[in-house]
């Protein structure tokens, strides 16, 4: 069994696994499940500071992204796709498959979106129904500042769809302050539940826009409107994956009880980046580093498959490669959720030291020693809340 230190899915705590094994009822018929589902959604609203409505969908995180686009997009709608990463650009596929016109705002994949430059663009063209933006682009490790980007879009009357699948619960996020209209998340990243669930937070403005459509949503499973009256009617549009949702609830309870969760992510990420730089390896991003994933360039003379294969087969640790324009160019360490702890990250750094030595590549210093030194240099502090 490998230690999973990938950029998602992440390790799952034993209490979450146990929760998923509990005896279940019929979620279609038992009103107690509707209460449990709503209570769980209320916790999601509380943790991310949303006055809108949260829903849990039965499908991996991509379902939430598609559902947001399916529910908002009508044929001919112009949609601004903020493209500074692989997942950012990927929103264009969802927009076009539902008849919209995707207009790409493409910028440097190694830096976060510059709100001032985006404003210059919007001053020339702001005729968009909604815009899509990624909080943490997992392939590149870039973190975009939603607290500046989404309010800027709102100034021009543009609704926002934000993907924080790999950001939320590892980075501070306040839905109301950011004025996000539909926020999308997934169970398997920093929340550290198994893959299989999407979460969406829907503002009143977004719900009104969906209800005001002139054409029906061209999907059933990806139609957020089908959930609107689930609680009043005690009825769900499809059978909900009850065991997965019970596990999700346990994972959320763990997050609520973890008062230093954001400080721990920041400390682990900072120490990781310090170690990478001290060793002579190169980070892929120039700035705008996420605290949930570190993306490292494959050194000249090596391949991603040799690094990943040695880590997996000799040291029992699974890291992530990448795909699309970054295929073969980088490897990724996921230090989010249950992965964001000193013991596991020390093991990763020690194994990387061994891997590079095995492959005949000389580092400037020990990753493990540099990581521990940087980690210990950060004073302890606690977050008062997520």
**What is the predicted pLDDT for the residue at 31?**
96
pLDDT along the chain (386 residues), means of 10: 96 98 97 98 98 98 98 98 97 98 98 98 98 98 98 98 98 98 98 98 98 97 97 97 98 96 97 98 97 98 98 98 98 98 98 98 98 90 59
**What is the predicted pLDDT for the residue at 106?**
98
**What is the predicted pLDDT for the residue at 1?**
87
Radius of gyration, CA atoms only, the chain: 21
**What is the predicted pLDDT for the residue at 381?**
63
pTM: 0.96
Q: Are 106 and 82 in contact (CB under 8 A)?
A: no
Q: What is the distance between the alpha carbons of residues 45 and 201, in angstroms, rounded to a whole number?
A: 7
Give the model confidence (pLDDT) of 299-352 as tens digits.
999 999 999 999 999 999 999 999 999 999 999 999 999 999 999 999 999 999
Complete DSSP assignment for 78-92: EEEEEESSHHHHHHH
- Residues contacting residue 246 through CB under 8 Å, at least 6 positions apart: 19, 20, 22, 24, 36
């Amino acid at each position: 069994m490998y230690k999973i230190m990938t950029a998602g899915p992440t390790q799952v705590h034993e209490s979450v696994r146990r929760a998923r094994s509990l005896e279940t009822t019929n979620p279609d018929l038992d009103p107690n499940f509707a209460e449990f589902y709503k209570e769980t959604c209320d916790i999601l609203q509380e943790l991310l500071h949303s006055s809108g409505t949260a829903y849990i969908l039965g499908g991996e995180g991509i379902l939430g992204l598609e559902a947001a686009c399916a529910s908002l997009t009508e044929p001919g709608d112009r949609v601004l796709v903020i493209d500074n990463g692989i997942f950012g650009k990927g929103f264009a596929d969802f927009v076009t498959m539902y008849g919209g016109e995707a207009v790409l705002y493409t910028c440097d994949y190694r830096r976060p979106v510059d709100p001032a430059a985006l404003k210059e663009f919007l001053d020339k063209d702001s005729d968009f129904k909604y815009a899509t933006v990624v909080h943490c682009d997992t392939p590149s490790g870039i973190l975009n500042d939603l607290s500046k980007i989404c309010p800027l879009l709102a100034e021009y009357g543009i609704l926002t769809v934000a993907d924080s699948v790999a950001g939320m619960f590892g980075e501070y996020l306040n839905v109301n302050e950011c004025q996000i209209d539909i926020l999308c998340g997934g169970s398997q990243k920093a929340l550290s539940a198994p893959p299989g669930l999407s979460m969406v937070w829907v503002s009143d403005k977004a719900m009104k826009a969906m209800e005001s459509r002139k054409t029906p949503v061209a999907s059933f499973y990806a139609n957020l409107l089908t959930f609107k009256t689930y609680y009043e009617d005690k009825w769900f549009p499809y059978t909900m994956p009850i065991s997965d949702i019970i596990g999700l609830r346990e994972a959320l309870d763990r997050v609520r009880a973890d008062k230093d969760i954001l400080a721990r992510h920041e400390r682990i990420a900072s120490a990781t980046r310090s170690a990478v730089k001290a060793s002579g390896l190169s980070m892929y991003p120039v700035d705008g580093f996420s605290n949930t994933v570190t993306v490292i360039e494959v050194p000249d003379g090596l391949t991603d498959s040799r690094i990943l294969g040695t880590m997996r087969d000799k040291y029992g640790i699974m890291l992530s490669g990448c795909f699309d324009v970054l295929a073969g160019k980088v490897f990724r360490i996921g230090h989010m959720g249950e992965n964001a702890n000193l013991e596991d990250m020390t093991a990763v750094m020690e194994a990387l030291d061994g891997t590079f030595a095995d492959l005949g590549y000389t580092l400037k210093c020990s990753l493990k020693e540099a990581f521990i030194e940087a980690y210990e240099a950060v004073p302890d502090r606690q977050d008062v809340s997520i």
